[in-house]
Amino acid sequence: MATSLIAVHLGTTSSTQDDARRLFEGSPVLVTAARQTAGRGRSGARWVDSDRALAASVAFRSPWPEPAWGRIPLVAGLAAVDVLGEVALKWPNDVVRSGSKLAGILSEAADGVVVVGMGVNLWWKLPLEGAGSLWEEDRGIDAAREIGEAWATRLLERLAFGPDAWGRDEYQSRCAVIGEEIIWEPDGRGVATGVDEFGRLIVAVDGDVVALDSGSVRTLRQV
């Protein structure tokens, strides 16, 4: 997949996910915004903007077969690590540092078009509980847009390696929940031991092994 990218930078919009899908005409298109009035996270959760925020969404036709699309959010997380620096990944959708959430990733697909979004807390004077920010001071909108373009470009580059080389070992080395006791809805509890080749979280539960392919997990330290 070519990594040439059409970039559209906005100040405020309702949703960069919706914008990117609407503007897609065949070539990968990135939409960034400093503010969203109807931003959403995983499972439709509302996204709250930090004082300096980045919302970035890239729409493209995936070079991967559809059964492999579930790995794309994890590749987007690795692309975030490439761009954001010393951060960790909380399976399946979050970017964290020192236990605080810095960014969230959302992947949606319809009619053969994939839209991957990333919302980043760049600077936040008074962050919400459980959240943090990447910068200690505001570096401005241009720096935010540069991060968006770098992330989208890196995501497309990584996807070009194909679904069998998506970066499993690298992801495991960056995954903050591996080795931790975790819980998940409705009543799951076990120790995360790794991520398999399909991007599923492998959990040891009472002498057995289960593979989670979606959902929200929390470490017991977060409860």
pLDDT higher than threshold 90 for residue 1: no
pLDDT band at 175 (very low <50, low <70, confident <90, very high): very high
Q: Which residues of 133-164 are buried (b: 16+ CB within 10 A; e: fewer)?
A: bbeeeeeebeebbebbbbbbbbbbebbeeebe
Instruction: Flag whether 1 is in a domain.
Output: no
Q: How far apart are CA 187 and CA 73, in angstroms?
A: 25
Instruction: Flag whether 45 is in a domain.
Output: yes
Instruction: Flag whether 153 is in a domain.
Output: yes
In percent, the amount of the chain with pLDDT more than 70 equals 93
Residue type, 151: W
152 and 127 fall within a common domain: yes
Q: Which of 92-96, 127-131, 204-208 has the lowest mean pLDDT?
A: 127-131
CB 83 within 8 A of CB 178: no
Instruction: Flag whether 188 is in a domain.
Output: yes
Instruction: Flag whether 59 is in a domain.
Output: yes
pLDDT band at 3 (very low <50, low <70, confident <90, very high): low
How large is the average pLDDT for residues 36-45? Answer: 69
Last residue of a domain, one of 131, 154, 171: 171
Last residue of a domain, one of 128, 153, 171: 171
Which domain range does residue 210 map to?
Answer: 178-222
CATH number at residue 91: 3.30.930.10
Q: How far apart are CA 88 and CA 24, in angstroms?
A: 31
66: which 2 tokens?
Answer: 């559809």
85 and 15 fall within a common domain: yes
24 and 98 fall within a common domain: yes
Instruction: Quote the pLDDT of residue 46.
Output: 61
68 and 89 fall within a common domain: yes
Residue type, 88: A
Question: Using one digit for the tens of pLDDT, what is the confidence trace for 145-172?
Answer: 999 999 999 999 999 999 999 999 999 9
Instruction: Flag whether 54 is in a domain.
Output: yes
78 and 153 fall within a common domain: yes
User: What is the β-pairing status of strands 201-205 and 208-212?
Assistant: antiparallel
The mean of the pLDDT values for the chain is: 92
Nearest residue to 194 via CA among 171, 178, 170: 178
Nearest residue to 179 via CA among 197, 190, 171, 191: 191
Instruction: Quote the pLDDT of residue 215.
Output: 80
In percent, the amount of the chain with pLDDT more than 90 equals 82
Instruction: Quote the pLDDT of residue 101.
Output: 93
pLDDT band at 41 (very low <50, low <70, confident <90, very high): low
Overall number of domains in the chain: 2
Instruction: Quote the pLDDT of residue 48.
Output: 73
pLDDT band at 2 (very low <50, low <70, confident <90, very high): very low
Lay out the sheet containing 29-36: strands in order across. 6-13, 29-36, 52-61, 113-123, 100-110, 94-97, 88-90
Instruction: Quote the pLDDT of residue 223.
Output: 42
pLDDT band at 42 (very low <50, low <70, confident <90, very high): low
155 and 185 fall within a common domain: no
Question: Using one digit for the tens of pLDDT, what is the confidence trace for 93-105?
Answer: 899 999 899 999 9
Instruction: Flag whether 102 is in a domain.
Output: yes
Instruction: Quote the pLDDT of residue 222.
Output: 56
